[in-house]
Structures are given as structure tokens and as C-alpha cells.
Structure 1
Amino acid sequence: MTAARNQSAALPRGAALAGARLVLPGGVVEDGRLTVEGTTLSAFGGDRQPGDLDLTGHTVVPGFVDLHVHGGGGGSYASGIAEEALTAARTHLAHGTTTTVASTVTGEIDEVCRQAAVLSELVEDGVLAGVHFEGPFISHNRCGAHRPDLLRDPDPALVRKLVDAARGHAKMVTLAPELPGGLDSVRMLADLGVIAAVGHTDSDYAKTLEAIEAGATVATHLFNAMPGIQHRAPGPIVALLEDERVTVELINDGIHLHPSVLDLAYGTAGASRVALITDAMGAAGMGDGLYPLGPLQVRVEDGVARLVEGGSIAGSTLTLDVAFRRSVTLNGLSLNQAVESLCTVPARLLGLADSIGSLEAGKSADLVVLDSESYELVAVMRRGAWVSGADRFTAVGTG
């Protein structure tokens, strides 16, 4: 991603952005001003000063946080190749995702461990925020774009093997709690401080409640790859929606969920329990064509990713700037609600709320600048340096 490398430029010390709409934790401030000091946000408010960058007509929100993404820009986190992972991270960074948890897919246990080791190096380099293991501990009946012959029961010893391979950087493991060892693995993950997520599951309502009591706190892409709601068999969806301890992932790409279903989830859980994710694979930021997803082949047509064999939906080509725009313009979320679901909630889940996820003094200068009318992405800043879009703004007093 050449743009992410070549356009990155730090702001002058004490530089300020002025004239923008700022989406702050306490509400929206019009004609706001924020100051960046090095890599952090240092102050809010004050009169415009000569040299401030003029962001009139723009909206500033925190950098997006993606809990669940498999790739982008033609690169895959499941490739086990560092350069591919870098390509994926840079692609989503250019679309406003300043914090990324890289997701693997089902594979041979030893191969996934090798992938985790590669991804962990990128966490240590500051490129990624952690690793999410999606598979192989999932249901055959709900495996979606995971190879059925490689699925395994969530034996705690095997789950621990994957977690250990990430060298302290495992953030989340998705599993089906109804499988042998499922509940024991949930308890183990909770004890280790790793998020246990219920997903790709054939679980019923009662078993899902057991998983939540055991320590599961996330629903992996709610509604997708799990039984639907029936009036006498509510299944996992109702159990996950109704419990205040659970955060639900949603994919707002117009393909995985009908807009009314998204509205239903927000109406039940509220923005404070929704994390919008991409679940993107390597085609995100690219065009139609054939792409690998772990050991499987995916065909993308008109932006929709499906397995070559079987036709199951295989992740998405979504980026979080599009998810933000859809949420505000189509689903009617307020700016603060959208920021909660794309920034604050996932930051809190990752234990990073003291440094990212909201525009507050002392937090990382991770910013996304949007057009205030269309909510199209205009610029991205990460850790006080422009990733893209810096040339769009002029300094106050310079014309």
C-alpha cells in the first residue's frame, strides 16, 4: 500500500486542526478545534490560530477499530506471510482502521500456530493489535467458509496451543460451545484473559446461556453461521442479544444482514453492545476475481465473496469507512452511536480504552476525517502522522 507509506507525515509540534465537527464522548461539537502533540491528542477548544489546519466542512471521529478481519488489498492474515499481512493492514488503514485484530481461518493446527507466530511479530512491531482465531473449533453444520475436514472439537489443550503460539497476543477465540470441550475452553480462555466468542455454532438457547455463564462475552458476526430465531426455539441469537455481558459483532455491508435486522440488533442491544466489523478477506480494497481464504478459493463478483465450491458467503469486501457511512445514512444511527460501535466498544473489549476509541486528551492521535455531508472518507491520521489526505487541507491564514 504505497500511499500508506509515502504520504505519512507527522504534524508540527503542537499543531491544531480547526473548524471541524468533532464527535466527542459527550456529544458533537461544531466548529471545534483539537491539538495534536506528538502521537497524542493534547487539548480541545480555543480560538483558531494562524497555522491551524482548516477542516471546515469536515467531521472528525476516532480511528476505527476492527475486531475481526481476515485480509485486504490482496493480502491475507492466514497466509503466514508477513508482507501479505502488512498489505492487508495498510489497506484497511487507508480506509480508517487504525487498530486491527488479525483473524485467521481454519487450518491444520500447526499451520495456524505458524501463522500466529508471524502475526505476533507484527503486533510487537505495532502494526497489529492482536490475533483472533476463528476456527477450527466450530460446528460442521455452520462452518461457512471453513474447510470441514479440518474442523476440530475445542479440546482445551488444543485451544491453549493456539493461544500460546500467539505469545501473549491472542485477543479472541471463536468456538462452538456445544462441541465437546467447548464450555471448558470458554472457562480457560476467560481465566487467561482471552475473549471467548460464540460463533459458527449450532448451539441452542440453553447451551448458549451456559457459555455466557462460563465466560463468553462476544457473539461472532451475530445472525451469520448460527441457527435463526424461532418462536419456540429462540436459539443462540436471542441468548446473545438479551445478555448485557455480551457484545455482538455485526457486518453492515448490505449483504450479510438486511438493514432491518441490523436495526433489530441495535434496538435490543443498543450501540454500547455492538461492535461493527468487516470480516473482510483479501479482496477488500480490490476488484472482482479469485482470491485465497486460508486453504479455500473464493470468487468475488460485484463485491460479494463466495466460495468457489459450494457458494457459501466467504467473508466480505467491506471496509469500516463504508460501514460507518451506511450506519449513519441508511440505518439512522447518530454520529455518537456509530463511533461507539466502530471505535469505543471494540477498544473497550480489547482493554485499550485508555489509549484509543474516543477523542480525548491523552489518547492516541488516531483520527478519521470525513466529509460532513456525504460521510465519505477524506483523510486518516495514525499516532499523530497523516496516513493520507493531508494535502486536502490548508493552514488558517494562508488562503
Structure 2
Amino acid sequence: MNSNQKNLLITNVQIVTEQAVVTGHVKISGGIIESIIADNDHRDEARAAGDTGMADQGGYEGEIIDGKGGWLLPGFIDMHVHGGFGGDFMYANAESFDRITGFHASQGTTGMLATTMTASRKDIEKVLEAVSAYQKNGMLHAELLGVHLEGPFISEKWPGAQNPDYIADPQLEWLQQWAKAYPGLVKMVTMAPEKPGARESIAWLKSQGIIAAAGHTDAVYAEMIAAADCGLSHAVHTYNAMRGLHHREPGTLGAVLTTDSIYAEIIADGEHVHPAAISLLLCSKPKDKVILVTDAIEAAGMPDGEYELGGLPVVLRGGTARLKDSGALAGSSLSMIAALRYMVNVMKLPVTEASRMASGNPARELGLADMTGSIAVGKRADLVLTDLDFNVQQTILRGTSIFNAG
């Protein structure tokens, strides 16, 4: 990104902070939020911060964006995304990464974890190498914050759209070697906690500050609780590809719903999870432990047709992606702005709560909340400007526009 950010003033917006919605304007300097000034008390402070009236008179030196009464939200952080716009992280090349990060930037995402599939060790290592190089070479669009390894340490009973040919028991040696070769790159590892070697791996991941997640798992309740005691703190695409809830055996899902230390992802697209089940999740979990994700694949942003996921053929029809052979759901074509829109319009959440699930909560889990994930003075200007219907107008990373619909 450009280190010489211009001064920027975003006026006439509904600013979504973690506490409230404030109508006013935001001043940005050097990529950092310098001031947030509400309309009802900004008269004096506006002389220092600058507003459209002052700017017209030459009182403000910098770019001015008129938000036209729309929403200004913190940029979205997607912890579980495989691809988009014809690109897949498993292709392990910069061209594909540009397609993915460019598309998701157009949907309000400012940061994401490059998510792998269950694949050979060699192919996973190609992704690690490619993401590491991409970070070092500088990124044009949304930021790759690290890698989420989804598999291959999953359950054969719950492969979902993962390739069963490469499912393996957890290999602590692999994790240690990857962490040594690419320090700080791997941010999250999804595994089935009931598999041999899982608890040892989970404890090691926690000791390294890497998120240990449950997913594609047949774990019973007791196995999940034991894994949580070892450091497991996250559940991928809650409800999907996991042992469900039974009143005599609460299963994986029961443990996720009742264990406050576990963050719960949800794919809010109206296809993966029934709205009543989302309501149950919201009633069960602390609001700061629910995270919106897309689980988007290369078909996201593309027309209906045939695509690929983890080497398996996928058909996208009516916006829903399914494996061609089995018909199983295969990731999604969801975007983060669409997930937020669903939570506000269908689930009737206040925009502040939906925003925390798309930005603040993932930032906290990733240890980034001191610098991003919410709109606050002193934090990075990672922002998304939308109209009143939550259509993205502009996405801003560190004070620099990475997408402009106009």
C-alpha cells in the first residue's frame, strides 16, 4: 500500500462505531483516524477537522468524500475464504490472489485469511510459500493477514466439499515445520479434535498463538470440552460439517453453543443455515464470540456455471455452489457485505452488532483490535462506505482507496 496517504475527510455519513451510530464526519491523516465528530456537537471542532463548508472555502487541505447519508463501517475481516472471481488460494499464484483480494475488496473486505483445502502436504506448502511472497511484494487490494489451514486433519465422516483422498490425522511435526519456515504466517488451523494427536496439536498451537479450530468433525461433547481445555477456541462454519445437537449427546454443536470460550463462525447466506438456527446461535453465544465469514470459493462474483474446489468439480446455480457429483454444499458465493446485509435485514440485528461480527470480533480473535476492526480515533482507517441499502461505494485500507464504485 501507499505509505504517503493523503489527508481524507469523509462527510455526511452514519458512522458505525462499536457503541452507537453517529451521524457526522471522520477525518483521516496518515492512514489513521484522527477525529470522529458528530453533527450535533461539531461546530467548534469542525474548524480544526474541516467540513465541506470549510473545504469549499479552502479551509481543508485534502480529499473530501461526501457519504451522501450512507453508512461508514469498519472494513470487514474474513477469517474463512477460499477464493473469488475465478481465483482460488490453492492455485498458489499472485494472479489468483489479485483476483480474490480485488473482488472481496469490492465487497467491503479489507483483510482476510487465505484459506486452504484438504490437499497434499506439497500443495499446502506451495500456498504457504505463495502467500508469504505475496505479503512481502506488497498487495494491491484487500490485505492477506495470514493463512487459515482448513484441513487436512479432519474427519472422514464429515468431509463436506473437502477431498477425502488427502484427509490425514493431525501431524504436529508438519505444523512445527510450517511455523518454523514461515514465522507468523499460519493464523488458524482447523481440525477434527477427536482424531489421534489432535489434543497435542491443539495445545501446541495455543502455545504459539495460533488459533485452533474445530471443523469437519464428529467429536462428541466430551471430546470438544477436552479440546477446549487444551486450547481449542474456534468453530468453523457452525452447524455445517459437524456432529449435531442431541438432547442426550450434545455433540460438537452443543459444545460450541454452550462454551463461551469458543468463537463461532456462521455463513449467513440463507442457504447454509436456517434463520431459526442462527437465532439459536445468537441466543446461546455472547455477541462478541460470533463471527461472520463467507467460505467463498472461486465462483464468488462469477456467473452460474462449472467451477472447482480442492480439485473437485463444483456447479454454481442460482448463487448456490454444490459438488457436481454428490450435490453437497461447496463453500459459497457469499460476500461479507451480503452477510452483514442478511444479519441486518433478515435477522433484524442492529447494524452495530452485525458490524462487530464482521469486523470487531475477528479483529479481537486475531489480536488486531488495537489497530483495526472498529472506527475509533487512533486506529487504522480501514473502512467501507455504503449507501443506505448496504451497497458498497468505496473501500479504504489504511486511508487509501482500494475500491471505488464510482
Question: TM-score when scaled to structure 1?
Answer: 0.92
Q: Deviations over 1:121-164 (max 9, x none)?
A: 22333531000000100000001111112110002113333444
Question: What's the counterpart of residue 105 of structure 2?
Answer: 93
Report the CA distance between 1:25 and its aligned residue.
2.3
1:224 to 240, 243, 258: 240
Report the CA distance between 1:289 and its aligned residue.
1.3
The answer to whether 1:16 aligns with 2:32 is no
Give me the whole-angstrom Cα distance separating, in 2, the residues matched to 1:176 and 1:22: 40
Q: Deviations over 1:332-369 (max 9, x none)?
A: 11111011100000011111111110001121111111
Report the CA distance between 1:378 and its aligned residue.
2.0
1:320 to 336, 343, 346: 336
Give me the whole-angstrom Cα distance separating, in 2, the residues matched to 1:164 and 1:303: 40
Question: What's the counterpart of residue 125 of structure 2?
Answer: 113
Question: What's the counterpart of residue 221 of structure 2?
Answer: 205
Does the 8 Å contact 1:71/1:88 carry over to 2?
yes
Report the CA distance between 1:294 and its aligned residue.
2.1
Give me the whole-angstrom Cα distance separating, in 2, the residues matched to 1:314 and 1:63: 26
The answer to whether 1:233 aligns with 2:231 is no
The answer to whether 1:33 aligns with 2:25 is yes
Counterpart of 2:400, as a letter, is A
Q: 5 Å matches for 1:42-81? A: 42-45=34-37, 46=42, 47=46, 48-49=51-52, 50-51=54-55, 52-81=64-93
Q: 1:165 to 1:200 in 2, by over 3 A?
A: farther
Report the CA distance between 1:165 and its aligned residue.
4.7
Does the 8 Å contact 1:271/1:338 carry over to 2?
no
The answer to whether 1:132 aligns with 2:124 is no
Question: What's the counterpart of residue 59 of structure 2?
Answer: none
Does the 8 Å contact 1:63/1:367 carry over to 2?
yes
Q: Across the two proteins, how many residue pairs are aligned to each other? A: 382
Q: 1:313 to 1:161 in 2, by over 3 A?
A: farther
Q: 1:306 to 1:249 in 2, by over 3 A?
A: same
Q: 1:198 to 1:336 in 2, by over 3 A?
A: same
Segments of 5+ residues of structure 1 without an aligned counterpart are 392-399
Does the 8 Å contact 2:244/2:254 carry over to 1?
no
Give me the whole-angstrom Cα distance separating, in 2, the residues matched to 1:165 and 1:107: 19
The answer to whether 1:380 aligns with 2:395 is yes
Q: Deviations over 1:52-103 (max 9, x none)?
A: 4322321101000000000001000011222111211111011100011110
1:289 to 305, 309, 318: 305
Give me the whole-angstrom Cα distance separating, in 2, the residues matched to 1:136 and 1:12: 44
Give me the whole-angstrom Cα distance separating, in 1, the residues matched to 2:155 and 2:201: 15
Instruction: Give RMSD over aligned pairs.
Output: 1.8
Counterpart of 2:239, as a letter, is F
Does the 8 Å contact 2:6/2:399 carry over to 1?
no
Paired residue secondary structure (2:177): helix
Give me the whole-angstrom Cα distance separating, in 2, the residues matched to 1:121 and 1:379: 27
Counterpart of 2:376, as a letter, is E
Q: 1:383 to 1:173 in 2, by over 3 A?
A: same
Paired residue secondary structure (1:300): strand
Q: Deviations over 1:13-59 (max 9, x none)?
A: 2x3111211111231112x1110112111111133343343223211
Report the CA distance between 1:311 and its aligned residue.
1.6
Q: 1:9 to 1:177 in 2, by over 3 A?
A: closer
Question: What's the counterpart of residue 397 of structure 1?
Answer: none
Question: What's the counterpart of residue 359 of structure 1?
Answer: 375
Give me the whole-angstrom Cα distance separating, in 2, the residues matched to 1:193 and 1:133: 15
Counterpart of 2:157, as a letter, is N
Report the CA distance between 1:269 and its aligned residue.
0.5
Identity, % of aligned pairs?
36
Does the 8 Å contact 1:11/1:36 carry over to 2?
no
1:191 to 207, 210, 235: 207
Give me the whole-angstrom Cα distance separating, in 2, the residues matched to 1:283 and 1:165: 31
Segments of 5+ residues of structure 2 without an aligned counterpart are 56-63
Report the CA distance between 1:11 and its aligned residue.
6.9
Give me the whole-angstrom Cα distance separating, in 2, the residues matched to 1:162 and 1:212: 23
Q: 1:306 to 1:97 in 2, by over 3 A?
A: same
Bigger Cα displacement from structure 2, 172-181 vs 35-44:
35-44
Give me the whole-angstrom Cα distance separating, in 2, the residues matched to 1:87 and 1:203: 36
Paired residue secondary structure (1:26): coil
Give me the whole-angstrom Cα distance separating, in 2, the residues matched to 1:312 and 1:164: 36
Paired residue secondary structure (1:35): strand
Counterpart of 1:23, as a letter, is V
Q: Deviations over 1:310-332 (max 9, x none)?
A: 22111000000100111101101
Report the CA distance between 1:296 and its aligned residue.
1.5
Q: 1:352 to 1:283 in 2, by over 3 A?
A: same
Report the CA distance between 1:250 and its aligned residue.
0.4
Does the 8 Å contact 1:113/1:165 carry over to 2?
no
Question: TM-score when scaled to structure 2?
Answer: 0.90
Question: What's the counterpart of residue 135 of structure 2?
Answer: 123
Report the CA distance between 1:168 and its aligned residue.
2.2
